[in-house]
Amino acid sequence: MSLPAPLPPIEFHSRRSSVYGRRGMVASSQPLATAAGLEILLHGGNAADAAVAVAAALNVTEPTSTGIGGDMFALFYEAKAGQVTALNGSGRAPAGLTRERILRECLSPALPAYHPFTVTIPGACAGWCDLLDRHGTLSMAEVLAPAISLAEGGFPVAPTTSYFWQAGANRQLKTAPNGHELTIEGRGPNPGEIFRNPGLARTFRAVAEGGKKAYYEGPIAEAIVEVLQKAGGLMTAADLAEHASTWEEPASVTFGDYRIYECPPNGQGITALLAFNLLEGFGLAGLHPLSVERLHLEIEALRLAFADARWYVSDPEFNNIPLAELLSKDYAAERRKLIDPKRASLNQKRGTPVASSDTVYFCVVDEFGNACSFINSNYMGFGTGIVPKGWGFSLQNRGHNFSLDPEHPNRLEPKKRPYHTIIPGLITRADGSLFGPFGVMGGFMQPQGHLQVGLALLTDGLDPQSALDLPRFCIDIDNGEQGGAVLLEEGIPWRAAAELAAMGHPVKPVSGWGRATFGRGQIILRDSASGRLTGGSDPRADGLAMTL
């Protein structure tokens, strides 16, 4: 077996310009996936059609992050109606999975990351189908054609993807049932090496012909159940057959002359909205985005936002989430009083708002002004790494985000959706016109990225590429509500880092491949008068924005 060639440390010395166009634009983390979306736009498809094509192509070209064995969320802006709809394509825990069963069999108070118990029902396929049914104009067969061609014919693997593919091959794919199907003789492909995935092409052909029923019933479903039950999991055919996406009212807040939209819980998008509300009361416009004063306020706002989100974000079908109260300006005004402009507060606690309680992001805007902000994920790279034999995709481990605390709103329960990290974002102007879809992928970095990129656009007036190029910080919130380290990306001035440390922030510089911590984003903005589109793609990934 040949060994993979060593990859050099990742560096960022190049500069990109924002991309301009009028007839449609796609921004994703993989050039071939971006091209797939443009192909659909060229064939008369709209933003929804192109988004599903990109999602499928990303499953082929970046299985290290996403796939039809994972979940998805989307925000869709319909230009004619001037309305935003939210699609929740996340799955639920199997009916037979209980906290007691996990504690008895795993012999640990924490759920093992790659255990079959962490596999929730994959919601991506149903979400793709439901997005097309409501907003699309083309058939699933037409939309999946580019991805099928890539999977059958093969594609050259991009450098950043290669790095994380090799890591996944040495981690969960190495021991997971059928994980070798996503490797080349047990290893991840090298940069530029051709990879073919006939099993995934077979999956997409089945869905193209039979829709979501072909995935949740029949041979694919049987393979999912068989591999999980052999590995000790509890998912059944009935669990898969009963799955359904949900269309929901998006959550939103105003910020100056704009309205920022996120999907509501069980997604963590309200974390970003809580932080935007808190920061609206400070005069950020006069502060440089990398100044110590600005960074401190953003960090403190996010600590408060996470303190609330880590408690309140859960499945609304199981808990009464006080969403309106959490996102009210009055609640933000009270919580804002907890921010000391001169000192870090590392142990912020959740508030009481009721007076009487690894991933791909991409976006598409079509020539008609429709927009789709879309995110799809396996979680932790390849998820569990478990592959239904012969079908070419791995199964997610989203259940790892459940709490095993019986008193927590996000506690594990049968048929429940877990706290979800993946979040698409979208912004409109005060008149309801589209400003643009945006997002930053990457676990608990995502709302932090939404805030930093959103402020760069709305407060600093940066163009999309400049907003994405700007160095970021990331609060390590693995300890829940407690104050984790503040990771600072190379490029943040050392003086600012030193002053943050003096204020009490536990700062830690990050460079090289570790910059993946800061997420990977995409942005497309639309000028309402001329229809001009302006797009950018994160330099921390392999992708780009392209226009017709």
Question: How many Cα atoms sit within 13 Å of 391 on the Cβ side?
Answer: 28
Q: Determine the Cα–Cα distance for residues 309 and 292; give it in Å rounded to an integer.
A: 25
Rounded to the nearest 10 degrees, what angle do helices 31-42 and 47-61 cross at? 150
- Locate 530 and state its tokens: 């001329």
- For the question of residue 137 being annotated catalytic, the response is no
Helices (H), 108-258: 124-135, 140-153, 159-169, 172-175, 198-210, 213-216, 219-230, 237-241
Contact 46, 57 (CB under 8 A): no
Rounded to whole angstroms, the Cα distance separating 97 from 364 reads 37
CB atoms within 10 A of CB 298: 24
CB-CB contact of 91 with 97 (8 Å): no
CB 358 within 8 A of CB 379: yes
Q: Which residues contact 199 (CB under 8 A, 6 or more apart)?
A: 181, 390, 391, 392, 393
Distance CA 381, CA 139 (A): 30
- In angstroms, rounded to a whole number, what is the distance separating the alpha carbons of residues 471 and 457? 14
Exactly one of 85, 161, 183, 359 is catalytic; which is it?
359
Catalytic residue set: 359
